[in-house]
Structure 1
Amino acid sequence: MTSKRFLSRRGFIAAGAATAGAALAGSLLPHAHAAGTAVKPLVFAHRGASALRPEHTLAAYAKAIADGADFVEPDLVSTKDGVLVARHEAFLSETTDVTRRPEFAGRRVRRTIDGETHEGWFVDDFTLAELKTLRAIERIPQSRPGSAKYDGMFQVLTFEEVIDFVAAQSATIGRVIGLVPELKHSTYFARAGLPLEERFIATLAAHEYTRRAPVEIQSFEVANLRMLREKLGKRSNLRLMQLVGVGPVKPADVAADGGALTYAEMATPAGLRTIAQYADVFSPPTRALIPLKKNGMLDAPTSIAADARAAGLRLETWTFRPENRFIAADFRDGGGEHARNEAGSIAEMRRYLELGLDGFFTDDPGLGVKAVAGL
């Protein structure tokens, strides 16, 4: 399943401080991190502050907002009873305590989703009530022991709970926080009789916050973004983001339909012009913009940044992580591969920001804010 996993300027944050109980400002104006400064690249909190708290939890979102993220990301999947919940993927075994829950032992299955096979537990085999009995855990505790200390403390969230929490935080701190939801495995869920898109559209429409606040909708698939553009049209608070992986891999919907289009073809000038017909943002992995040499150091940039701008697309890349194992060799320090390297992560982000990024995903938005502040 293609993911913003471990492959490794213009804003539209609504103006006006929302006070508790007050309606959000109706107009959308450029966002700057400080009064009088130029517009800065947007900092997207990848699954919340997922380097510091278990991903997609209230703790992760709260930490991201406190650390200055412009947007928080809820990845969306569906429960058995059709409720959208915030999990990075359908597979539950790595991010919840389901493996330690004997009452669900009989639901262990082997399943292939978007070309990847896993054996374990899957979200669409659980009702929301059952899912709520599980607790979130850290995905990579060997690299993030500080986050792992929060294991077992937080529930799985519904999309509506995420919206309500972000709206409340926005009203409390007087700063509008955007949402950057990703529709995960759309083709898989549609074939399981649990299509995501109509429920997603209905949820956006049902909440005052998502009718006004900035929302960027992402997907690695193509057909769902085309459908969303047709259904939602062009709205001042909405953007559509086409995510891509690397190389000859096909989007899941293209592969399922027997199509030939690959992510590599989508990243060509012709492919980018096609994307611009239905999306607003092109979002490749960082190493597609500046690849790594065999020695792990950064190579020369590719033409993708310039090509995306020429096609009229915003460029927002994924994902920066603060541990040495994920950082280019240019910026690693003397710690081990799992060691946290804040200075190196900031330096790496600034190198990529030189390409003129409009935004970027990071597991540690506090470091992202520091990187942007240096521009």
Structure 2
Amino acid sequence: MVTTLDDTKRQLIGEKLADLKAFQNLIISNDQKLMEACPYQDIRERLQNFLEDDQKNLGIIETVIVQYGVPADPSTATEKFISQSEQMMSGDEFTFYQKLIHHELMKHSQAMSGIVIHKAAQKVGADIEIAIGPLNTVNFEGRAHQEQLKGMLEQVGVREMTGQDADQGIWARVQDSIAALSGVFGSVVTQNTDKQDMNIQTLIRLDHSKANTIFTEIGGTQDPQKLQEYFGQLYKDLLAHAEAEEEVVYPNVRSFYGNENVQELYDEQAEMKRMLDEIKAIDPALTDEFKSKVKQLMDAVGDHMRQEESTMFAAIDKNCSTSQKEQMATDFKAAKGKLQREMASAIS
């Protein structure tokens, strides 16, 4: 019987993602505190641009956490560091320049954390790489901010010591050009990936792509432990996805997609849930039986996905505005995250 639905490595990545979100909230708070304390108009304008990017990137991180599907809390060390950082940024003990240095280090740490999560995902599972893919945008823009902060630190440091602007030497001009180029490309990537929330079709496609990847991973191994790990993730992902669709999507599309079509989707997901529980009761060590049942599930889920991505998505495009599709995505993501937390509590 499949009794353990969590893998240690996946849980650790979940905790790192929780840390990433906590640090992103800290970065946003730092942006705001620095803007309030900044005596220089040009620096304040750049900080305002950072704040807008960082708020958008928080939305991307939240989307990734829900797509990943392993809810976790930030580590105790992260919570302690954040508390200390907030005190430092709020007090008068440090100059504006010193606080700006701390902010640049935070940006560097955040970018490195995102890269490490990405590299760890490559070792743990292809489905994880798909779920965290949008983090590349956050990592890219964080690096662009770092380059800009170096130029800002040069200006602020010289101003604090001399009361005058620094000469724009070759180094500074190179940093500014790199920052501008990174910002342009980062914005392009972001526009193609996320605003504050993706539209509902994009989120559902991401779920479908992740599920298909796990099916492939299951098909490619004979190791009972890996079968249990992969199925455990699939089980949680498909249940959360189905429940969120039934709570948010299907009621919203019924009026224009039709009662018969929507009822068919409900019925297919009811059968999918039955099959999931049937497979959950099979010992993965009975490899042939286990994989045979998963293959039946894959075929059923594939038919369901194709209907959603063809006729249902077309109906949504025809009948819903951009803002309506984005609001549906926001509600879907919230419902899915709530269900994931409830499942995690039930398992623990």
If the length of structure 1 is used for normalisation, what is the TM-score?
0.25
Task: Name whichever structure is richer in strand by fraction.
Answer: 1
**RCO (CA 8 Å, sep 6+): is it higher in 1 or 2?**
2
Task: Decide which structure has greater helix share.
Answer: 2
| Structure with max Cα Rg | 2
Taking structure 2 as the reference length, the TM-score comes to 0.27
